[in-house]
Structures are given as C-alpha cells and as structure tokens.
Amino acid sequence: MSSKIPAFQLQTSFKVDYAPASVKKWRSSRTGLQLIVIDQESPIVNGYFAVATEIKNDSGSPHTLEHLIFMGSKKYPYKGLLDILGNLSYSSTNAWTATDQTVYTLTTAGWDGFRMLLPIYLDHLINPTLTDEACYTEVYHVDGSAKDKGVVYSEMQAIESQGWFLSGLETQRTLYKVSGYKSETGGLTSNLRTLTNDEIREFHKQNYRSDNLSIIITGSINEAEFLETMETFDKELPDLPSIPLKRPFVDSEQDKPLTKRVAKTVEFPDKDESSGDVSLSWIGPDIKDVVTAQAVDVLGSYLTKSSISLFNKTFIEIDNPLATSASFSTDDYIHTGMNVYLGVS
C-alpha cells in the first residue's frame, strides 16, 4: 500500500527567540505555490496574499488589476461577494499595489471565518472574470457629461499633480533606468485613458501564477485544516512549466548605483509657493545583507526620528531654520533604496 505524498513540502520550521511565535514555510512541488504561517496567539487572523508584479511602463496594469480582482471570479462571478461574505464572518478585505508587489489582505476574528473565505478569495486572484464592463466602470470611461471617470482614474487624478508624487516619480526615473523600479504602477492618467482590458488580462496571465504567489498568514490557526484547504485549492492549479518562467525582478537586469551626483528641480502646481521639499536618494545595500540593511534603518533613525536627532538639531531647531521637517525611509527592493526628506519654506 502506497502512502499519500502531501502536495506541500515543508521547507523550513523554526521558533523566533524575540517573540512567542514560530514560523513554517511549505511549497507545492507541482505548482510552486508557497505557504508561510507565523503562528502566534491572537484572536485575529491576518492573511497577506502577495504577488510579485513587475512592469516597465506607466500603464497602471498592476493597479487596475488589483481593483478588478474584487469584481468576481469565474467560480463566484459576483461583484462585492468578498465584502458581503466578509461582513457575515467578521472579516475585512483590502489590497495595495506597490512598485514591486501587489498584496491582498484578509483579516478575520478567528480561524473559522478565515478558512471559509480563503479558497473563495484565492479563486478571485487566480481566476478573475476581468469583464470589459468592469474595466469600463473601475478603470476609465467618459460619462454622459463628457467628463473623465473611473475609480482608478479618479484615484490617480487626485494625486498626480502633487509635489510628493512628482518628486518621487522623478527620483525613480533618475535612480532606475532599466528595471521595473522606474515605473509608476498606479498608472498615469494619460495612460489609463488608453489602457485596454486585453492588456490587463495579459498582465494577469504573466504574473498571477501559482509559482509567483505567496500565502502568508499570522495568528492562531488549525494547521491541519489549513493544509487540507490549500491542498484542495492546489489541485485546481496547472502544473509548473517544464522550462521555469522568469521571476519578476529576481531574473531582471538590475540598475547600478549612480556614479556621480545628480541634482534635479521638479516643479508642481500649488497656490502656496512658499514651501517645498528636498529629497536625497541612493541605491543602497543588497536586501539579503540583513545586518547592513538594518544598520541603514538605524542610521536613518539617528539622523531624523526625534527632536534631538542630528538633522533636527542642525536644520530645524535653530534660530533661522533651514527646514521645517526631516524624515527617512527605505524602499525594500533587491537593493535597498534610501531616502531622506526635508521640508523647506
């Protein structure tokens, strides 16, 4: 009698020494789907369904697809179904689109509601309906008064002319010339007007595949039930291709740090012309160099995070201030992006 071989193979399992939590990771040998569980005592179960998404233009395909995912799946072709079921099971859903990833979230009070919603939610990710009607409504259309409309279009229209958006986009395009890190994944309005549903479908086909999806869960769960649920879902997914597909960013050409200083001025429309900001950005250490990446965060905090930090004492807390604010952030890309911001007036 042959024993059943589980679909998901345990790749690593360990307890962390700084918190009452343990971590396990599984991977399906047939489909490449990854499962990560951070087991910790909590009345809330959080799920993060992460898709690596790379694009080398400003079409907005990653952002528009994020919206269209919630418009129904082929098995559950009903707009808003996830929200309705979420309300019935004390759950909430959300999503965000970043430069290098699109992440869908599920938060529930307890494991039972999470388990019920999980396969339905994942079916929306892998098998969305992506109808033309939904695209017109959510992305872009012209209404009866000849005005530009669309949920995604309106979102981007509201921020596209703001100073922080324009300076951030210019920074991306200065530091990154060849990789997808240069792109505005939310989509520029000029491109959203011409983006087609076929382009969105093709982006989904290329990126929303099982080997490019990680299911990350935190909280108190029933591990056996979770693996059973995921094995049932995994059976519906296609096999990995015989020739491995390209992994977003990991298998892409990477930009090198600038070899010389570059200074640019970015103008933006504003009734108040008395203020602006200065940003300083670099391509930093490899993200796998955890110690150096953490050192960068500590340095940023030392420079900017409190009223007694070096930048505050030097530029702000002086008789004739040179700046009104100071902050630091990192972009957790393959090579860490480092950014310093100073508000000026």
* 3-class DSSP string for 222-241: CHHHHHHHHHHHHCCCCCCC
pLDDT band at residue 5 using 50, 70 and 90 as cut-offs: low
Report the distance separating Cα 105 and Cα 66, nearest Å.
12
Each residue of 49-64: pLDDT tens digit? Answer: 999 999 999 999 999 9
Provide the Cα torsion 252, 257, 259, 265; round to 10°.
100
What is the structure's pLDDT at 243? Answer: 87
CA distances from 117 to 56, 81, 96, 114, 217 (A): 33, 10, 19, 5, 13
Q: In what order do the strands lie in the sheet with 8-15?
A: 8-15, 21-28, 34-40, 213-219, 44-52, 101-109, 91-97
Report the distance separating Cα 179 and Cα 246, nearest Å.
14
The structure's pTM equals 0.93
Beta-carbon-side half-sphere exposure of residue 218 (alpha carbons within 13 Å): 8
Each residue of 317-338: pLDDT tens digit? Answer: 999 999 999 999 999 999 999 9
User: Over pLDDT 70: what percentage of the chain?
Assistant: 99
User: 254: closest CA among 324, 322, 184, 177?
Assistant: 177
Q: Which residue has the tokens 């399906």?
A: 28
Each residue of 139-188: pLDDT tens digit? Answer: 999 999 999 999 999 999 999 999 999 999 999 999 999 999 999 999 99
User: 118: closest CA among 45, 63, 42?
Assistant: 45
Each residue of 221-280: pLDDT tens digit? Answer: 999 999 999 999 999 999 998 888 899 999 999 999 999 999 999 998 888 888 889 999
Q: What is the mean pLDDT of residues 105-117?
A: 96
DSSP category for residue 182? G
**How many CB atoms neighbour CB 157 within 10 A?**
15
